[in-house]
Amino acid sequence: MMKQLFPIKHVMGYIFSLVLSVVALAVLMDGITYTVGLAILLICAILQAGTQLFLFMHINESKDTKTSLYLNIAYALFVGLVTIFGTLFTMIWGY
Amino acid sequence: MKLDEFFVTGEPMIYAAMVSIVVASLAILIGLTYFKKWGYLWREWLTTVDHKRIGVMYIIAALLMLFRGGVDALLMRAQLAVPENGLLDAQHYNEIFTTHGVVMILFMAMPFIIGLMNVVVPLQIGARDVAFPRLNAVSFWLFFAGAMLFNISFVIGGSPDAGWTAYFPLASLEFSPTVGNNFYSISLQIAGIGTLLTGVNFIVTILKMRAPGMKLMQMPMFTWSILITSVIIVFAFPVLTVALALMMFDRMFGGQFFTMANGGMDMLWANLFWVWGHPEVYIVILPAFGIYSEIIATFSKKNLYGYKSMVASMVVISLLSFVVWAHHFYTMGHGSMVNSVFSITTMAIAVPTGVKIFNWLFTLQKGRISFTTPMLYTLAFIPIFTIGGVTGVMLAMASADYQYHNTMFLVAHFHYVLIPGTVFAVIAGFHYWFPKVFGFRLNERLGKLAFWLITIFFNVTFLPLFFLGLNGMSRRMYTYSEGSGFGPLNMVASIGAVGLALGFVVLCYNIYWSFRYAPRENVNDPWGGGRTLEWATHSPVPEYNFARTPNVKGMDAYWHSKKENQPLFEGKIEPIHMPNNSGQPFILGVIFFFLGFFLVFSWWIPSIIAGIAVIIMLAARTFERDHGRHIPVKEIMEIEEKHGGELV
């Protein structure tokens, strides 16, 4: 019963994602340099995305849709990177 | 806020609109009560989760918005017909071209396409509904709430007036202090959530719910176009969501993202807007390509030429659509490197599009062509769209664009791609799939009359704009002097607009006439040349679509089962599992409408209450157990018998 109400993997994942959010907020504290802050944010973001994808969105669970799932993620990465670096390119580097 | 600021005042036209809105609403309410249709409306439509009915509601909403946007267009053409015209003042004109753009793209083209895909895609892949029927209803009601919120802006609070692109700094609180642009950011946000959910829904539907045996590379071309469109929706709309949220922060909470002071960057809005905005262009054009592919194959009695290259070109277009956005602001002042890169990527899009045009032409070659109304629209599309495409390549050259930028040439160009591209396609698709939903075809004579009026007067309206643009007339100017010499060509364009409106009147009359007098056919395949699965089931389609799941062995399954006399439906009839209707999506839409309305006017306490109501609705859904219902075999047999013909 307790196991059904509190599936250990998901509870831990939930706590972990909350911890990650708090750590990300810690960047606001005094005495953290820009570089360190950005590094913390990046690491937190990657871990957070991984937790969500694997634990709560079950990305690795079904075999038959594997290709289309990873193709979709590749597409998403493409669009995300293009948006970020394209914006930097048009608005700052190439301005 | 005082009452005279709340309602828009001082314009006789607006007062007339208010009166007509009140009269029309009263007429609808009284009519529903008099004919005792409230229960019918609630049970059959407002609470429905049936993909066909949701599709029909999308299309009705789109037609209403076509009327709204069309009236805007007519007012603009009336104002520009003669030099120094005083029909509209500058402010009113600004509001009209802004709402015309937003309404036509987001509340006419998008829902029309989403409506058609709702009706057709599950039928084409042999499914009984979409993957998440309840979510589909939520999508519709969120879109509808957003559309209604945007539309009331013109009598309450004032419409947005910074163009459909809402460029900063003009759209900032400093230069647009009225609530107009709040309406823009919030209603688009609400409708955008609906669109995003539709994208997710259709990706899952197409990937997971195809009939047994149908491989990805055997799907009908329209379904392929919708799959790719849904992928673009899912990846492009989040950018708009973020941009609109930042806009909301800037306008309502003192944010500085797009301001010119405190480290803000006003052009970042234009950048983010077009990161979404250019893929959006392909969101409305790729389904059109899909519709044309179906129609050309059907009415040429041939299979589509170059199936694989068609799919590949759509995938390439979808990728390229994400790397061309800066061509919308070549003149912003970035370096030649940026402009060159975006010039090249833009011109590259002409290649896959050209591949598609040639594939259609090769499909037509040696086909037995029947000139039905949908086919006429398709045949007219090819040359007219090519003009739009070629002028697009002209605009793609960054250095030349310094001449064309923001002139009527641009206006002519995008109407030349969007009208023959999207509008002709949705009208053609509407005629083509109409019998599938209602069991009878629209009248061909009236349909062809509307086609000729629309096609001829479309060119009369927009061809002069190319020359006006080259002569230096810029877009969005509310009047011009006689000495500019813009008068005669503008007059021609305005006359064309009246003709175009006449064409749409004939189109609407055709719908009315056919509902009253068109012969009821009730045959599966009224056009006689149907190739794909939607023509295998009854018209009108029963709520479960297919009594037995079709067994697909290859491309154009219905056509081959007819030709080779192989049964498409085998096995015995079993009880069918269907989702239950629900009032929650409708209620959620109503709450979102009020949430949006309160936010627009920054009424915080009501906003918070409405926001909590939204969360309660979501929580209620989470704890609800609804496993749907089963239609027993006896009932299925009764429905099948009523439809007559072969058991499917």
A35-52 tens-digit pLDDT: 888 899 999 999 998 888
Mean pLDDT of B431-436: 95
Residue B18 has pLDDT above 90, yes or no: no
B470 or A67: which leads in pLDDT: B470
Residue B528 has pLDDT above 80, yes or no: yes
pLDDT band at A53 (very low <50, low <70, confident <90, very high): confident
Strand partners, B578: B629
ipTM rounded to 2 decimals: 0.83
Q: Are B164 and B98 in contact (CB under 8 A)?
A: yes
Q: Which of B4-8, B65-69, B211-215, B506-510 is predicted least confidently?
A: B4-8
Query: What's at B484, amino acid-wise?
Result: S
Distances (CA, A) of B181 to A86, B12, B24, B554: 27, 23, 27, 51
A64 → chain B, closest CA residue: B208
Best of B272, B336, B338, B343 to disrupt the A interface by mutation (most A CBs within 10 Å)? B338
Residue B172 has pLDDT above 80, yes or no: yes
Residue B1 has pLDDT above 60, yes or no: no
Residue B646 has pLDDT above 80, yes or no: no
Pairing of strands B629-631, B576-578: antiparallel
Residues of B in contact with A72 (CB under 8 A): 203, 231
Distance from CA of residue B413 to its chain's centroid? 19
Q: Are B89 and B151 in contact (CB under 8 A)?
A: no
For B326, the closest of A65, A76, A90 (CB atoms) is: A90
Best of A62, A79, A84 to disrupt the B interface by mutation (most B CBs within 10 Å)? A79
Residue B3 has pLDDT above 70, yes or no: no
Mean pLDDT of B234-244: 94
What phi and psi, each to the nearest 5 degrees, are found at residue B630? -115, 135
Strand partners, B44: none
What whole-number percentage of chain B has pLDDT above 70?
Answer: 99
B266 → chain A, closest CA residue: A91
Give residue B262's pLDDT.
86
Task: Kindly state the helix (H) or strand (E) to which residue B360 belongs, with its residue range.
Answer: helix B336-364
Residues of A in contact with B236 (CB under 8 A): 79
Supply B405's token pair.
């930028």
Query: For residue range B487-518, what is the model confidence (pLDDT) as tens digits?
Result: 999 999 999 999 999 999 999 999 999 999 99
pLDDT band at B648 (very low <50, low <70, confident <90, very high): low
Query: For residue range B562-593, what is the model confidence (pLDDT) as tens digits?
Result: 888 888 888 888 999 999 999 999 999 999 99
Query: For residue range B178-197, what is the model confidence (pLDDT) as tens digits?
Result: 899 999 999 999 999 999 99
A66 → chain B, closest CA residue: B207
Q: Are B541 and B52 in contact (CB under 8 A)?
A: yes
Give residue B252's pLDDT.
92
Contacts A–B by Cβ distance under 8 A: 46
> What 3-state DSSP class applies to A79?
helix
Distances (CA, A) of B503 to B162, B186, B280, B421: 30, 34, 27, 17
For B334, the closest of A68, A78, A90 (CB atoms) is: A90
Mean pLDDT of B373-380: 96
Residues of A in contact with B209 (CB under 8 A): none
The model's pTM: 0.94
Give residue B346's pLDDT.
93
Residues of B in contact with A87 (CB under 8 A): 268, 271-272, 275
Give the CA-trace dihedral at B632, B636, B641, B643, to 10 degrees: 150
- Report angle CA B580, B584, B586 to the nearest 5 degrees: 110
3-class SS letters over B552-579: CCCCCHHHHHHHCCCCCCCCCCCCEEEC
Alpha carbons B4 and B13: distance in angstroms, whole number: 16
Residue B539's closest CA among B443, B644, B465?
A: B644
Alpha carbons B170 and B16: distance in angstroms, whole number: 29
Residue B645 has pLDDT above 70, yes or no: no
**Fold (topology level) of B37-527+535-582+626-643:** Cytochrome C Oxidase; Chain A (1.20.210)
Contact check, Cβ <8 Å, A94/B235: no
> How many residues are listed for chain A in this entry?
95
Residue B526's closest CA among B515, B518, B517, B535?
A: B535
- Chain A closest-CA separation from residue B342 CA (Å): 10
Give residue A6's pLDDT.
79
Residue B403 has pLDDT above 60, yes or no: yes
Residue B202 has pLDDT above 90, yes or no: yes
**What is the rounded radius of gyration, in angstroms, for the C-alpha atoms of chain B?**
25
Give residue B642's pLDDT.
84
Q: How many CB atoms lie within 10 A of CB B494?
A: 20
DSSP string, B393-442: HHHHSHHHHHHHTTBHHHHHHHHHHHIIIIIHHHHHHHHHHHHHHHSSPP
Boundaries of every domain in chain A: 1-61, 63-95
Boundaries of every domain in chain B: 37-527+535-582+626-643
Cis before B169? omega within 30: yes
What phi and psi, each to the nearest 5 degrees, are found at residue B576? -105, 130
pLDDT band at B2 (very low <50, low <70, confident <90, very high): low
Strand partners, B629: B578
Cis before B540? omega within 30: yes
Give residue B6's pLDDT.
79
Phi/psi region, residue B82 (left: phi>0; alpha: psi -120 to 50; beta: rest), is beta
